Chains A and B, each alone.
Chain A
Amino acid sequence: MSTQVQHKIKSVKPINTDFEVRTQHSMCTNQSELDRPLWTNWKYLLAGILFGIILVKSEVISWFRIQEMFRLQSFHMYGVIGSAVVVGIISVWLIKKFKLKSLEGEEIKIESKHFNKGQVYGGLLFGLGWAITGACPGPLFAQIGTGAAVIIITLLSAIAGTWVYGLVRERLPH
């Protein structure tokens, strides 16, 4: 890269395409500013257990259900995701309307998502993978829990995919 180009890049405000982690100054999944001791995370473990049981019992983790969804052979997955979104929309609306606080007394904040081309390219790539594995990241964990130990390999490969994305992201269109 020539020095001229480098200079140009420096003078332009860097576009932050990382909307998830606060340490990189933008949207993150954890809006809480509080630094809580490790043991206080047990409640997220419980929430996860509840979520995992639902994923199994509703067969959302079933490879067959995902195939039926993408072949329009069953309404099940559309019903699950659709009703989840409706309940989510009502909940978030209520939280905002009544300005509810979290149990730790913080005002609840939800960052906006900013559009970038990654949502298109990455979205398509994830869609391809979703139909092959029959699992998005949550169900991968639940499938392993049900005893499908070989899915550990799929999960490790997903972690490798995430790592490779981190490695090459500066060179990808965003």
Chain B
Amino acid sequence: MKFLEWLREPWPWYVAGPVIGLTVPLLLLLGNKSFGISSALRHVCAACLPAKIPFFTYDWKKEVWNLFFVGGVLFGGFLAAQYVASPNPVQIHPDLAADLQQYGITNYSNMIPVDVFSWNQLFTIRGLVMMIGGGFLVGFGTRYAGGCTSGHAIMGLSNLQWPSLVATICFMAGGFIMANLMLPYILKL
């Protein structure tokens, strides 16, 4: 079946990008919701451990749609991996492959490098810095910035909000600094 084969291939940007963009009007039309994912992390804090911190003392149940949405993202990831996964390893740029090889990253069977992100790497210094440290920065930074790639770069820019443009530029600047200047040292750990 041609269609199923096509589905299994990695989807090009000009298919995926517009569909991601359509999430914005979809959520607005479904129920007046502004697209944003990192808020879900805050709702989890508010639901599980508010600890009388004002930032977490609000009625998170009113925002529960956001938790349904991220639950869906998780399940969607499962469905895609289970039923329409690409049979081939991830294609990567030869320069990146050559560079990563020096750090012992040679396994491209997964979308995340299992040479770094795995249970037995968790208690190495590199694993700790990348999984725990990286995750912490994502959670702290997105909340400090008031949004992530979805809330600022996609939803905010769609609504032509200049503070979201500032945030997006800073996301990219941080990423460039880390990937090019800092990560080479972290990967050596």
Contact = CB atoms under 8 A, between A and B. Distances in A.
A41 interface: yes
Contact of A141 (B12, B63, B77, B117): B77
B104 interface: no
B49 interface: yes
A113 B151 CA distance: 10
B55 A127 contact: no
Given A104-B31, A122-B142, A154-B134, A30 B175 contact: no
A119 B166 contact: yes
Interface of B: 7, 10-34, 36-42, 44-45, 49, 51, 53-56, 58-59, 62-66, 68-81, 84, 90, 92-93, 95-96, 100, 108, 110-113, 117-119, 122, 129-164, 166-180, 182-183, 186
A99 B135 CA distance: 40
Contacts of B118: 150
A109 B143 CA distance: 22
Contacts of A73: 93, 95-96
A48 B68 contact: yes
A148 B145 contact: no
A144 B77 contact: yes
B111 A63 contact: yes
B25 A129 contact: no
Interface size class of A (residues with CB under 8 A): 35 or more
A140 B132 CA distance: 13
Contacts of A159: 41, 44-45, 139
B27 A160 contact: no
Given A51-B76, A124-B170, A126-B137, A29 B36 contact: yes
Interface in A73-130: 73-89, 91-92, 94-95, 100, 102-104, 106, 108-116, 118-130
A121 B14 CA distance: 32
Contacts of A132: 129-130, 133-134, 137, 178, 183, 186
Given A44-B65, A80-B20, A102-B32, A158 B80 contact: no
B77 A83 contact: no
B182 to A, nearest CB: 7
A102 B137 CA distance: 35
Nearest to B10: A59
Contact of A41 (B68, B100, B137): B68
A143 B76 contact: no
B41 A137 contact: yes
Contacts of B172: 70, 127
A53 B74 CA distance: 9
7 contacts: A52-B77, A56-B77, A64-B111, A84-B17, A86-B18, A122-B142, A129-B139
- Most B CB atoms within 10 A — which of A91, A132, A146? A132
B32 A48 contact: no
Contact of A29 (B63, B68, B134, B164): B63
